A and B are shown apart, each in its own frame.
Chain A
Amino acid sequence: MESIPRHTLSVLVENKFGVLARVAGMFSGRGYNIHTLNVGPTHHPDVSRMTIVLKEKENVLEQIIKQLEKLVDVIEIHDFRIGENVERELILMRVKADRENRAEVIELCDLFRAKIVDVGIDEITVEISGDDSKMNKFVALMERFEISALTRTGKIALKRITG
């Protein structure tokens, strides 16, 4: 499973109730797994964008895209191949930062341009955004300081501007 690369789909859908259930049901009913999913409005109030990250084989991906296209509420699908899109994810993380390690934690945050958004006696909350490799590296480095809570938005992506 690990050898299958991640794949990002950007799906424009009608901003109506039930659309998420329809999309999610299409995946669950066929046994496909969603790695991350982000849903939010676009600049058009009646259109939402779903960014779906998947780890599936090429033939399964082809089926997924076609099944999504079949849904009446799906307006458009962009199938991003590597390099065709700019992508970001945001993480909020609570990490131990007591007298002993606080300086080191803050230094790491500075290096990664992470923001400290909440501070306690021996814990801080950090916000960081970026692409996959930056995020994974940051999380890995912070793990040795004891992460007590972590949440990720899932990836959002837009097609790169060409020309």
Chain B
Amino acid sequence: MTGAEILVEAMEREGVDTIFAYPGGASMPIHQALSKSSAIRTILPRHEQGGSFAAEGYARATGRAGVCMGTSGPGATNMVTAIADAFLDSTPLVVISGQVPTFMIGRGAFQETDFYGMTLPCVKHSYLVTDINDIPRVVKEAFHIAQTGRPGPVVIDMPKDVQEGKAQPVFPDSINLRGYTPERELDEVALNELLGFVKDAKRPMIYCGGGIISSEAHEELMEFVERSGIPVATTLMGVGCFPETHEMSLKWLGMHGTVYANNAVNEADVLLALGVRFDDRVTGKVEKFAEHGTIIHIDIDNSEINKNKSVRLPIIANVKEALARLNQLLADAGHERKKAGFDAFPAWYEQIATWKKDSPMKYQDSDEHIQPQYAIQELYKACQKDPRETYITTGVGQHQMWAGQWYEYDKPRRFITSAGLGSMGYGYPAAMGVCAAFPDANVIDIDGDGSFLMNIQELACAKVEKLAAKALVLNNQHLGMVVQWEDLKYDSNRAQTFLADPDDGYDPTHKDESKIFPDYPTMCAGFRVECRRVIHKKDLAAAMEWFVAAKEAVVLEVMVPYTEHVLPMIPGGMTYKDIITEPFMEKRHEINIPTAL
């Protein structure tokens, strides 16, 4: 067998069914081998960044490693953003890159780049394969490392001579990695100590995140809440790990999280931090975060303990196993599971209810134009009526926050967003990845016009590959999130945040369609993808019905005002007490924002 054939068989043995791969000189042998595989579907993205984001979408929806490939040089460098993205969001990803032949490495060969070196700071692990006999072991290790412990991206750099060499492969049954032991023994003493803190608590809170989803611990979390009566706030990465429709849910916290989630987490006397990393978008000024609470941190990654925030009780564990054991201990102590009528912390529930009543999520609706929040609520309503499972992906910016705020997620892996790296252009290819994994699902990318344009070429891939990825584009003709910061901090001076043609005038009402730029319906037509544009509120419901019902790639462009801001908002480096809940344009000069991210 050739090295390329061995690689493909090794991937088949790992259960790979889909690879997003863009060919080139240094990866052609692998494409040739893939074309003969009946187990693996090879999907041709129209840009390696799209392919690698699609692999991330696949991984986030399934929990299995997404796989993508590009050729050496530019093919590989185009995948770096997704690798960094997967590194920050702990997404299992296996990235294969073609490489120039080993005897050409270091000579500045055509399309040569030191991809192994270039990706070192943002991989969980990586390989440069120099011996064809290493391929079976390397592939097995790569998938193991990507998918176990705290998941992450693994790079396999494959020189072309190794792909074209010939060998009789020996596929190993087991893995021997003495430096990698992701399993953790449960610390019984620490878990009992945790329950001791909970027993004495008056205002306990759970702050949980992506770790719950990675470890598939959502059922254990539900049981823990039902037995303990502790309310839940998630991070953006944790959206859906606990149903937002549940009475114990406070939705998500952080910069654009709910007032009540931020209040409750910051004023809790005992804070259970489960599968989280105290990200600055969650904590604001980290020294002030939950400063009076006793923090107990459970995470599988020891390096997250005391990294951003010192905690009272660290527990290094797989959060699924830890919660399962805690549930057992609670059951042994006589704590029954409750579906309703929670009564463990009545005064605390009352306080939370007051916060919810006094500071609900809100926006000023209008009949003059379509508010972006309203569009997402309409989408939610339409999706509720659809019998299929709905998956939401997003780009990055205002629309991403609104997609988190105004849609209710009640299952894990249904809100797929670039949280840590904040990669614009993520939404549409990620939706394609979800479609590849779940062809019968209702998969919707809620996007902005800026983010959508960044990987719009993938409409060609979706069309040709019959991936029913649908895009709801909230078009405000601006980079809305940057505009929001310009409004807050830079006196609304627009610096490269207007996306239409400044020489063509601008009609903020979007009533004059000739001024809308670029013209998405025309562009989509070029891809033979249907795109409908909605400007008037009265037309939205019908368009939304068509959009949600569609079973192929379509685009719904909704024109929205650029003046709308994402609220609430805790500006970076500030605390939950500084939360802005009302439109701030008149009082913005009174807000003193520190230098922070």
| A positions within 8 Å CB-CB of B | 13-14, 17-18, 21-22, 25, 29, 59, 62-63, 66-67, 69-75
Q: Is B329 interfacial (CB-CB < 8 Å)?
A: no
The interface size bin for chain B is 10 to 19
Interchain CB contact (< 8 A) of A25 among B120, B179, B303, B307: B120
Q: Are B305 and A73 closer than 8 Å at their CB atoms?
A: no
Q: Is B334 interfacial (CB-CB < 8 Å)?
A: no
Q: Is B306 interfacial (CB-CB < 8 Å)?
A: yes
Q: Are A73 and B179 closer than 8 Å at their CB atoms?
A: yes
Cβ of B306: which chain A residues have Cβ within 8 Å of it?
Answer: 59, 62-63
Q: Is B106 interfacial (CB-CB < 8 Å)?
A: no
| B positions within 8 Å CB-CB of A | 116-117, 120-121, 124-126, 128, 145, 177-180, 301-303, 305-307
Cβ of A72: which chain B residues have Cβ within 8 Å of it?
Answer: 124-125, 145, 177, 179-180
Q: Are B120 and A66 closer than 8 Å at their CB atoms?
A: no
Cβ of A71: which chain B residues have Cβ within 8 Å of it?
Answer: 179
Q: Are B117 and A66 closer than 8 Å at their CB atoms?
A: no
Q: A69-B302, A70-B302, A73-B179 are in contact. List 6 more A-B contacts (CB 8 A).
A: A17-B128, A25-B120, A59-B306, A71-B179, A75-B178, A75-B179
**B309 shortest CB reach to chain A, Å:** 12
Cβ of A74: which chain B residues have Cβ within 8 Å of it?
Answer: 179
Interchain CB contact (< 8 A) of B120 among A14, A22, A59, A70: A22
Cβ of A59: which chain B residues have Cβ within 8 Å of it?
Answer: 306
**A26 shortest CB reach to chain B, Å:** 8
Q: Are B303 and A67 closer than 8 Å at their CB atoms?
A: yes
Q: Are A21 and B117 closer than 8 Å at their CB atoms?
A: yes
Q: Are B303 and A14 closer than 8 Å at their CB atoms?
A: no
**B114 shortest CB reach to chain A, Å:** 10
Interchain CB contact (< 8 A) of A69 among B117, B121, B303, B307: B303
- In angstroms, Cα B306 to Cα A71, docked, is 19
Cβ of A62: which chain B residues have Cβ within 8 Å of it?
Answer: 306
Cβ of A29: which chain B residues have Cβ within 8 Å of it?
Answer: 121
Q: Are B303 and A63 closer than 8 Å at their CB atoms?
A: yes
**B162 shortest CB reach to chain A, Å:** 15
Cβ of A67: which chain B residues have Cβ within 8 Å of it?
Answer: 303
- In angstroms, Cα B303 to Cα A22, docked, is 16
Cβ of A17: which chain B residues have Cβ within 8 Å of it?
Answer: 128
**B278 shortest CB reach to chain A, Å:** 13
- In angstroms, Cα B302 to Cα A25, docked, is 19
Q: Are A14 and B302 closer than 8 Å at their CB atoms?
A: no
**A10 shortest CB reach to chain B, Å:** 15
Cβ of A69: which chain B residues have Cβ within 8 Å of it?
Answer: 302-303
Interchain residue pairs with CB less than 8 A apart (23): A13-B179, A17-B128, A18-B116, A18-B120, A18-B126, A18-B128, A21-B120, A59-B306, A62-B306, A63-B303, A66-B303, A66-B305, A69-B303, A70-B301, A70-B302, A71-B179, A72-B124, A72-B125, A72-B177, A72-B179, A74-B179, A75-B178, A75-B179
Q: Are B121 and A25 closer than 8 Å at their CB atoms?
A: yes
Cβ of B116: which chain A residues have Cβ within 8 Å of it?
Answer: 18
**A74 shortest CB reach to chain B, Å:** 5
Cβ of B126: which chain A residues have Cβ within 8 Å of it?
Answer: 18
**B130 shortest CB reach to chain A, Å:** 8
A74 to B, closest residue via Cβ: B179
- In angstroms, Cα B126 to Cα A17, docked, is 11
**B408 shortest CB reach to chain A, Å:** 36
**A24 shortest CB reach to chain B, Å:** 9
B310 to A, closest residue via Cβ: A59
**A132 shortest CB reach to chain B, Å:** 29
Cβ of A21: which chain B residues have Cβ within 8 Å of it?
Answer: 117, 120
A19 to B, closest residue via Cβ: B179
Cβ of B145: which chain A residues have Cβ within 8 Å of it?
Answer: 72
- In angstroms, Cα B121 to Cα A25, docked, is 7
B150 to A, closest residue via Cβ: A70
Cβ of A73: which chain B residues have Cβ within 8 Å of it?
Answer: 179
Cβ of A13: which chain B residues have Cβ within 8 Å of it?
Answer: 179
Interchain CB contact (< 8 A) of A14 among B117, B179, B307: B179
- In angstroms, Cα B117 to Cα A73, docked, is 15
B141 to A, closest residue via Cβ: A72
Shortest 4 CB-CB contacts between residues of A and residues of B: A66-B303, A72-B125, A75-B179, A72-B180
**B242 shortest CB reach to chain A, Å:** 28
- In angstroms, Cα B118 to Cα A21, docked, is 11
A22 to B, closest residue via Cβ: B120
- In angstroms, Cα B307 to Cα A63, docked, is 7
Cβ of B121: which chain A residues have Cβ within 8 Å of it?
Answer: 25, 29
- In angstroms, Cα B122 to Cα A25, docked, is 10
B128 to A, closest residue via Cβ: A18
Q: Are A66 and B302 closer than 8 Å at their CB atoms?
A: yes
Q: Pick from B120, B179, B302, B306 the residue with the most CB of A within 10 Å.
A: B179
Cβ of B303: which chain A residues have Cβ within 8 Å of it?
Answer: 63, 66-67, 69-70
- In angstroms, Cα B301 to Cα A72, docked, is 13
- In angstroms, Cα B117 to Cα A21, docked, is 8
B180 to A, closest residue via Cβ: A72
**A66 shortest CB reach to chain B, Å:** 4
- In angstroms, Cα B123 to Cα A98, docked, is 56
